[in-house]
Structure formats: C-alpha cells, structure tokens
Structure 1
Amino acid sequence: MRIVSASVALAAAAMSVAGCSTADETGSTDHTSTSAAESADATTEVPPVAAPTAAELEASLLQLVAPDIDAATKAAAVENGQARLTNLDAMTAALANYGAITFEVAEPTVEGETSTADVAIATPRGTAAPSPQTWVLIDGTWKLSDASMCQILAMGQAPCA
C-alpha cells in the first residue's frame, strides 16, 4: 500500500507545478545575498556563476532521493533546506524500499538567478510527463527551489508543511 501511495504521490507531484513557494505576490523571489564588503564597494564586479548543466541538475535530484545520503547533506542542496530536514528524513524513509528513481533533465534555461528545466521522473511504476522544475542561485551554488523541493517531497509522502 505504501508503494502504491508513493507512486500516486509521485504522479501528482510530477503533474503539479504548484506547491510551496517563497515567492511574493508578484511571483518574484529574492535569492541574492551580499556581504557588507560587496555593498560598500559597488564598483567591484563579482564574476558571473556558470549556468548549471542538465547533468549537474540531474545529479542534484538523484542525491535527494538516494537512500544512503543523510538529510543534512540533502538539505544543503536545496533552498530553505534546514527547514526541510524532517521532511527529507521522512521522504528518505518512505522511498527506502521503493526502487530506483531516475530523472531526465532537459537543457536548462537561466534568467537572472533562476534556472528552469523540464524534468521527467521515472520510477518502478512508470515515467511521468516532464514538468518544469526550478533551481536558484544562492551564495554561488545552484540549489533546488523550495517549490520544486515540495514536489519532490510529495513523491515520498513528506509534503511541505
């Protein structure tokens, strides 16, 4: 029953683009962080961070569903990860005996500090149609957005709360 529920949750998560969000009513989210030194010296340019590749984004998703990776490591790879530790533990436990989950990530697009890519999720129960997932640039690292994290958590019956 647990496996069937997990696959139903997976299908719902993959088909849903709605979820938890830290965006304000305009739909924009501020993911920038500046140090006092950066603020004081506005003429100093920070070199741009390279856009993420589809392989890098796929690896970040695989890490989230890996049963042998602890929640703290997973939390470091997602926006608001520390707030999701309990959810990540619950998802890891729920997916422990579920079987292989893989992701096929299309070439991402980047707009400012947000990267979006269509992602197809394959499980032992089938493959869901691709749905857009987002990553945000936080302190020079691309992290899965909170809204996309909520969709992944739903796969493992650990919804955002």
Structure 2
Amino acid sequence: MNTSPENRRSPSPGEQNAEISPKTTPSAQACGERWAQESQKRHEWIAVAAYFKAEKRGFAPNHDWDDWFEAELDYVKRQVEDYLIILEEDGETTLIGLQRLAYSIGVEHPENIHSKTDLIQAIQCACQLLPCFRIGVEDLCSQFNDCQWRSECKKMIAVWKRYG
C-alpha cells in the first residue's frame, strides 16, 4: 500500500461520521453524504466565482477575502432567487422548503426554526438585508422596493387582514 502524502486523502465528512458512530443509520449516513456533496459544490462555486472576480480586477493583491465574501453573497442571493422562481411556479411556501433553502445558504441549524417568518428573516440576514419580513400588519416594508420577498410578504399580510 502506497502511503506517500500525494496518495493519501482525507476521509470525507460522511466517512468520518461513520468512523465515529458505527451505529449510524443508513438514512443519517445518506444525509451526511448529501450535506458533504452540497457543501463541496457550494465551496467550488464560490471559489470559481472569487477567481473570476480577482481576474476581473487584474489579480490585484490583498483582495482575496473581499472576492471570496462577495462570491459567497452572490451564491446566497442566487440560491434565494432560484428558490423564489420555483416558489412562483409551485405556489406555496413550505416550512421544509424554507429550511432547505436556509440550510443551503449557511443559516445555522434551520431545522430548529419552526416559523416561516423567522426562517425568511434568517435568510434575509444571510443575504445581508434588513430582516424586515412581516414586521408590520399595517404596511409593507418600504425600505426595499426590489425586495425578493415582497410578493410573499404581501400574501401573508393579506391573510392577516382577511382573518385578523
């Protein structure tokens, strides 16, 4: 067996979990593997986007982190945009759908958030927006005319007014 550093590889998070917990259920292991794949895909997307941002600037030094953070924010906004496009076709916001979106953009422990409003506000924070979703019954938030969540907010406020 060749154990030179070039041929060694780190175990994936799924493999590490399997080593730590031998009684891991197949579904839990599959979730861990899916998380690892999604995390790797996210990391690769951000790395490529950050590279192109640096290239656009002519690879000027000392902007690595700026490029990375800007690419991360682009990724988050793109995920939200894609979710809202799908939502437009499907018609209804679901708690599970919001939890999945929140998870995919890096919101910590979205499975512990059981309110659509709280999830959307956490997603808004991840997008570096004011978490204004459903902040008032009387008016819509007037701070963001181009807010991605505006139509969902309108729907929920309409329900409040109808039944409130």
TM-score over 0.5 (shorter chain): no
TM-score, L = length of structure 2: 0.24
Is the radius of gyration larger for structure 1 or structure 2? 2
Which is richer in strand? 1
Which is richer in helix? 2
Higher relative contact order (CA 8 A, sep 6+): 1
